């Protein structure tokens, strides 16, 4: 649909749970510190939506695993990414169910424990995202072999900049500047020479003139 295959769908769905789950944990921390009921309700809502988004992203990721071209190195990182994603989803799923079931009866100690679980989940979420970035930027996951070969062939052709680059501009400016000053230098020299000649002519004396006194 709209040119999206499973790897692209997975990438599209990943940003939402990362943002929402991170924000949910942060808001829960603030609400615990300042005893704000409104913040606690907001954090719970973000947690629920983020957990559902994480489930959708993991499902799309499992679908993407079976369709992307990959070798042994990419496969190893992909397995680690999948394992971390499932652990992350499990932690936040348990936390969500726990909060929904106990929200009205939670004491301060239980809320603090729930926050610790959320922080642990956030650590796994960060590690999962790191492995996802490694898949994309170091192993070109989701890029087909044919597309990758075409890109490599295109890069081998090299890329040249036109005459409008900074270096070209600097050279042209330098040459123009130098030529302008060079052309101006000649009239100055000629003027100085003419001035010296005038001074010499003005101070010359005839053979019968008295000697000049300083």
Q: pLDDT tens digits, residue range 124-160?
A: 999 999 999 999 999 888 888 888 889 888 988 876 6
**Residue 43: which of 113, 88, 99, 122 has the closest Cα?**
99
Number of domains observed in the structure of the chain: 1
In a domain, 140, yes or no: yes
The pLDDT score that the predictor gives to residue 140 is 86
pLDDT at 170: 47
Q: Cβ(68)–Cβ(126) under 8 Å?
A: no
Query: Is 80 part of any domain?
Result: yes
Residue 41 counted as domain residue: yes
| Domain with 56 in it | 6-145
Phi, psi for 207 (deg, rounded to 5) = -70, -25
Q: Give the separation between CA 86 and CA 89, rounded to whole angstroms.
A: 5
Q: Per the domain annotation, does 61 fall within a domain? A: yes
Alpha carbon distance 164, 112 (integer Å)? 61
Alpha-carbon distance of 27 to 18, in angstroms, equals 14
Give the number of C-alpha atoms closer than 13 A to the C-alpha of residue 139, restricted to the C-beta side.
Answer: 19
The H or E element spanning position 68 is none
pLDDT 10s digits, 95-110: 999 999 999 899 999 9
Asked whether residue 183 is domain-assigned, the answer is no
Confirm whether 136 is domain-assigned: yes
The list of the chain residues with pLDDT below 50 reads 1, 168-174, 176-178, 180-181, 184-206, 209, 212-214
Task: Please give the pLDDT value at position 214.
Answer: 45
What span, in angstroms and rounded, lies between the C-alpha atoms of 109 and 118?
Answer: 14
Does 187 fall in a domain?
no
């Amino acid at each position: 649909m709209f040119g999206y295959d499973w790897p692209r769908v997975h990438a599209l769905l990943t940003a939402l749970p990362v943002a929402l789950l991170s924000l949910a944990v942060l808001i829960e921390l603030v609400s615990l510190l300042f005893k704000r009921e409104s913040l606690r309700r907001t954090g719970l809502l973000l947690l629920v939506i983020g957990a559902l988004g994480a489930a959708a992203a993991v499902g799309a990721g499992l679908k993407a695993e079976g369709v992307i071209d990959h070798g042994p190195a990419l496969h190893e990182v992909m397995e680690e990414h999948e394992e971390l994603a499932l652990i992350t989803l499990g932690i936040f799923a348990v936390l969500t169910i726990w909060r929904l079931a106990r929200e009205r009866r939670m004491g301060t100690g239980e809320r603090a424990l729930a926050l610790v679980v959320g922080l642990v989940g956030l650590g796994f979420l960060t590690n999962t995202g790191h492995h996802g970035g490694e898949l994309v930027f170091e192993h070109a996951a989701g890029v087909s072999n044919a597309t990758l070969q075409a890109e490599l062939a295109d890069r081998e052709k090299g890329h040249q900049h036109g005459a409008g680059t900074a270096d070209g501009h600097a050279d042209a400016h330098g040459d123009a500047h130098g030529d302008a000053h060079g052309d101006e230098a000649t009239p100055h020299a000629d003027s100085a020479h003419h001035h010296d000649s005038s001074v010499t002519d003005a101070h010359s004396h005839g053979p019968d003139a008295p000697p000049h006194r300083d």
